Structure 1
Amino acid sequence: APNVQLPKIELFSTDKLAHAGAYVVLVLCLAWGIWKSKNRAPARGEMFLIFCIATLYGALMEWVQGTYFPNRFFEYDDMLANTAGAFLAIMVATPFFKNRSPKP
């Protein structure tokens, strides 16, 4: 077999944890907005839409960074961390909001 070096992925670096954490906050804020404005827990479809918005936003930001800013790069690892953070937030937010009613 040829000696092929696979790219090194550091999923638990400070940078990747910061990316994931930022997307946890983004998703929780979007879900909280629905919870407060509609006076009910976000529906499954709304949670899916929030996840899609966060994931697409992360991809767009990576593209903009890699395209328009010198010395900045499009990083798939960052997109993976963003998506993982969004997914984690959906998993936490769904049961949290489902069992609570917002106060008027």
Structure 2
Amino acid sequence: MITRHWWVLKKNTYTILFISWVLIITVLSLFSFSEVDLDTGKLNIPYADKITHFIFYLVFGILGCFFVRERTKGQAELTKTSWFMLVGAIVYGIFIEALQYTMTTDRMAEFGDVLANTFGAFVGIGLVRWYFSKKRPLKWKF
């Protein structure tokens, strides 16, 4: 019984990771931090929020590509998957910014966040494309 459950988890690893990552981004993007004391001390990192957006969507792009690869068993072409995930990341990022604007009182939508999201997804997807390039031994298709 445990072996069967382990196999299901192993077979769906990237699906679980990608969906979990999307939920984490959603919750953190819509959570109000005004009531939480986040004492950062004297550490002041310029553009820390943009760096965070970049990293979140870099991981989104990577996990998203592996998610599509896992769900299609490698049958979806890497180029199509890349475009699909890039457009998906951009649309999702804009959607989250729109939700921040309409559903939260202390969060605001920013065009700079959309740019950071897009650039992060672009770099993440680029890393996946590089990883599965012809010079790499790992093949996109199973």
TM-score in same-fold range (> 0.5): yes
The residue aligned with 1:32 is 66
Report the counterpart of residue 21 of structure 1 in structure 2: 55
For 1:20, the aligned partner's letter is F
Tell me if 1:49 matches 2:84. yes
**Which residue identity does 1:22 align to in structure 2?**
F
Q: CA RMSD in A?
A: 2.0
Higher relative contact order (CA 8 A, sep 6+): 1
Structure 1 residue matching 2:132: 3-state secondary structure: helix
May I ask how many residue pairs the two structures share in their alignment?
92
Change (3 A) 1:42 1:29: farther
Residue 16 of structure 1 and its aligned partner are, at CA, apart by 0.5
Contact 1:42 1:97 in 2 (8 A): no
Residue 139 of structure 2 is matched in structure 1 by: 101
> Which amino acid in the other structure matches residue 55 of structure 2?
G
TM-score by length of 2: 0.58
One-letter amino acid of the counterpart of residue 13, structure 1? Y
State the 1:30 CA deviation.
1.0
Does 2:102 correspond to 1:67? yes
The 2-side partners of 1:73 and 1:53 are apart by 21
After TM superposition, where is structure 1 displaced by more than 4 Å over at least 4 residues in a row?
A: none
Counterpart of 1:85 in structure 2: which amino acid?
G
% identity of equivalent residues: 27
Over 3 Å counting, the alpha-carbon distance change for 1:59 and 1:74 in structure 2 is: same
Q: Is the 8 A contact 1:34 1:40 kept in 2?
A: no
Structure 1 residue runs of 5 or longer lacking an equivalent are: 1-11
Aligned letter for 2:109? Answer: F
- TM-score w.r.t. the length of structure 1 is 0.77
Report the more deviating stretch, 38-47 or 79-88. 38-47
